[in-house]
Amino acid sequence: QKEVEQNSGPLSVPEGAIASLNCTYSDRGSQSFFWYRQYSGKSPELIMSIYSNGDKEDGRFTAQLNKASQYVSLLIRDSQPSDSATYLCAYGKGRRALTFGSGTRLQVQP
């Protein structure tokens, strides 16, 4: 079992719709969770961090964490073509370096 599982996609949504990206992780001791956005040929960019169960909202982005289910998700409201990218999920535990998933490719259709 991979430490971080993400559907590789592509996930295709129409412009203006809600995009839902999901991630499961295997380490129950994980304490911090992150979503990164990576445009093709570019470096990953941190867009959301979440540390506690529940929802965290930042603009059009909402991260949801459920530690009991070992599940973290990212919702993107009012999706725009500029949101088309690969989204990487990552988790951290104590001093350990972050562990990343392989990413989900999102395509927003105009």
Partner 1 sequence: DAGITQSPRHKVTETGTPVTLRCHQTENHRYMYWYRQDPGHGLRLIHYSYGVKDTDKGEVSDGYSVSRSKTEDFLLTLESATSSQTSVYFCAISESRSGEANYGYTFGSGTRLTVV
Instruction: Tell me which amino acid residue 2 is.
Output: K
In 3D space, the residue among 107, 109, 104 whose CA is nearest the CA of residue 21 turns out to be: 104
Query: Which span sits near partner 1 by CB under 8 A: 20-28, 53-61, 75-83, 97-105?
Result: 97-105
SS (H, E, C) 24-65: EECCCCCCEEEEEEECCCCCCEEEEEECCCEEEEECCEEEEE
Size of interface with partner 1, in residues (CB under 8 A): 25
* 65 binds partner 1 per the rule CB under 8 A: no
* 46 binds partner 1 per the rule CB under 8 A: yes
| CB neighbour class for 67 (10 Å; exposed up to 12, middle 13-18, buried from 19) | middle
Options 7, 17, 100, 107; binder of partner 1; rule CB under 8 A: 100
In whole angstroms, the minimum distance from the beta carbon of 74 to partner 1 comes to 14
Applying CB under 8 A, the residues found at the interface with partner 1 are 4, 8, 31-32, 34, 42-46, 49, 51, 88, 90, 92-95, 97-103
